Copies of this chain bind each other. A is one copy, B any other.
Amino acid sequence: MDASRAKTYVQRLATAARSAAAELATTTGGRRDAALRACADALSDARADLKAANEKDLARSEEFGLSAAMVKRLTLDDQRIDAMAAALREMALQVDPVGKAVAAYNRPNGLRIEKRRVPIGVVAIVFESRPNVTSDAAGLCLKSGNASILRGGKEAVHSNLAIAAALRAGLAAAELPAAAVTVIDNPDRAIVPALCRAAGLVDLIVPRGGKGLISAVTEAATIPVIKHYDGICHVYVHAAADPDAAERIARNAKCQYPGVCNAMETLLIDAAVAEAFLPRIAAALRAEGVELRGCPRCRALVGDMAPATEDDWRAEYLDLVLAVRIVDGLDAAVAHINEYGSGHTDAIVTAEIAAAERFVAAVDSASVMVNASTRFSDGGEYGLGAEIGISTDKLHARGPMGAEDLTTYKWIVTGQGHVRE
Contacts and interface: CB of A to CB of B under 8 A. Distances in A.
Contact of A398 (B249, B400, B410): B410
Contact of A417 (B26, B245, B398): B245
A81 interface: no
A256 B419 contact: yes
Contact of A394 (B367, B376, B408): B408
Q: Contact size class for A? A: 35 or more
A72 interface: no
Interface string A386-417: 00000001111011100000001111111111
Interface string A208-234: 000000000011011011100000000
Given A381-B420, A414-B372, A25 B256 contact: no
Contacts of A408: 394-395, 398
A413 B362 contact: no
A420 B376 contact: yes
Interface secondary structure of A, over-half rule = mixed
A383 B224 contact: no
A135 interface: no
Interface stretch (A105-113, A267-275, A300-308): A105-113
A26 B412 contact: no
B413 A370 contact: yes
Contacts of A22: 338, 362, 364
A7 to B, nearest CB: 15
A398 B409 contact: yes
21 contacts: A22-B362, A25-B364, A107-B382, A111-B376, A111-B381, A118-B361, A203-B394, A224-B394, A244-B417, A245-B417, A248-B419, A252-B419, A252-B420, A256-B420, A367-B413, A368-B410, A369-B413, A372-B419, A373-B415, A395-B396, A396-B396
Interface of A: 22, 25-26, 105, 107, 111, 113, 118, 120-121, 199, 203-204, 218-219, 221-222, 224-226, 242, 244-245, 248-249, 251-253, 256, 338, 349, 356, 358, 360-362, 364-373, 375-377, 381-383, 393-396, 398-400, 408-420
